[in-house]
A = this chain, B = another copy of it.
C-alpha cells in the first residue's frame, strides 16, 4: 500500500473543490454563501456494521456521502461540501482506494458537492469511515423534527423497506430480486434533497428514516409531543419489496423497523396535501400519506391490514 501522502495526492486530491486548497494545507478556507445559514451533520460507518466488507468499493464511500446528504435533505438544506476521514486496514490495495474514490467522484457530480478536507490513517481494525457534510439553508427555513401537530398527515417519500430487504438478500437470507433493486437500495441510498428543499414552509416537521420507519416516527412523536397512527397497508413499496412481502407476509415488521431507508418522513397539515403532491411531482420523488398524527402519548402505533395494532419485535435499529 502506498504512503499516506501519495494516496491522498493520487486518489483524493482530484476530488478536492474550491476552498480545499488542494488538500495541501492544514485546513480548508472558504467563504460561506452570503445570506444563508449553515447546516452540518456527521456520520460514521464501520465495515461489517454499516456496510458489508465485500460491498463494491465504489459504493461504500457513496453510501456514507449519501447518508449524510440525507441528513441535509431532512433539514431542507442544499449541499456545499464535505470532509472525510478514512481509516484503512493495512494492506488495503491501491486499486480498492481508486475504486472507492471513483465512486465519490461520481456522486460529487450527481449531487453538486466537493471534498473540502479530511485525514487518511491506518487501522488494525475494520475499514472505518467518517464524513462531515456542510450545507446551507435559508435562515429560519430549516425543517426540524419538532413541530408535528395532531391532525397532521404522516408522509413518507419513495419506498420503504428496500434497504432492509437488500441487506437480507446480500446476506443470502432472501432470494435476490432479478433486477438487483433491493441490494442496490441497500448500497446506495437516495438522498431526497430536492423534495426536502421543496418541503420548507410546507412540512411541520421532518426527518430522514435511518433507524427504521416505526422508530423514527416515534422520534417525530416525541419531538412534537403527540402520537401517531401508521397504516401499514398504505406503506409505499417497490415492486421488488411488494413481491417479497407477498411471498412472505411475515416480512412486514422488517420493512417497518429495518432501517437503511433514507427516505423523508414528514408531517404536514391536511390542507397542504395538494401542495405536497405538487412538490413530489415537481421533484420526481413520490410522497405517500401513511398515517396521521394525533393527540395523546408520544408513541407511534402501527396498524396491520386488519386494522388491529401490529406488534413490532423491536423499536428499530440501534447501533449498539
Q: Once the chains bind, are A27 and B319 in contact (CB under 8 Å)?
A: no
Q: How large is the interface on A (under 10, 10 to 19, 20 to 34, 35 or more residues)?
A: 35 or more
CA distance A86 to B27 in the complex (A): 21
In chain A, residues 277-294, which have Cβ atoms closer than 8 Å to a Cβ of chain B? none
- Do A144 and B25 form a contact, CB below 8 Å, given A38-B31, A123-B49, A318-B5? yes
Q: Give chain B residues whose Cβ lies under 8 Å from the Cβ of A86.
A: 44
Contact of A3 among B49, B116, B320 (CB under 8 A): B320
Q: Give chain B residues whose Cβ lies under 8 Å from the Cβ of A318.
A: 3-5
Q: Once the chains bind, are A123 and B128 in contact (CB under 8 Å)?
A: yes
Q: Give chain B residues whose Cβ lies under 8 Å from the Cβ of A45.
A: 121
Contact of A42 among B43, B119, B223 (CB under 8 A): B119
* Interface flag for A87 (CB, 8 Å): yes
Contact of A207 among B26, B46, B145 (CB under 8 A): B26
Q: Once the chains bind, are A44 and B130 in contact (CB under 8 Å)?
A: yes
CA distance A125 to B38 in the complex (A): 34
- Do A40 and B208 form a contact, CB below 8 Å, given A32-B32, A87-B46? no
Q: Give chain B residues whose Cβ lies under 8 Å from the Cβ of A137.
A: 29
Q: Once the chains bind, are B126 and A125 in contact (CB under 8 Å)?
A: yes
**What are 20 residue pairs bridging A and B, where the CB atoms are less than 8 Å apart in the complex?**
A3-B320, A26-B71, A26-B72, A27-B77, A27-B133, A27-B142, A28-B38, A28-B39, A29-B38, A30-B40, A40-B116, A41-B83, A42-B83, A42-B118, A44-B119, A46-B122, A46-B123, A46-B125, A46-B128, A87-B128
| Ranked 8 nearest A-B pairs via Cβ | A125-B125, A130-B130, A44-B85, A27-B41, A132-B132, A26-B74, A42-B83, A26-B71
A interface residues, Cβ below 8 angstroms from B: 1-5, 7, 21, 24-32, 37-46, 48-50, 70-72, 74-75, 77, 83-87, 90, 116-126, 128, 130, 132-135, 137, 139, 142, 144-146, 207-208, 223, 318-320
Apart from A26-B74, A49-B121, A85-B130, list 16 A-B contacts with CB within 8 A.
A4-B320, A24-B223, A27-B71, A27-B142, A28-B39, A29-B137, A38-B38, A40-B132, A42-B83, A42-B130, A44-B87, A46-B122, A122-B319, A123-B125, A123-B128, A124-B126
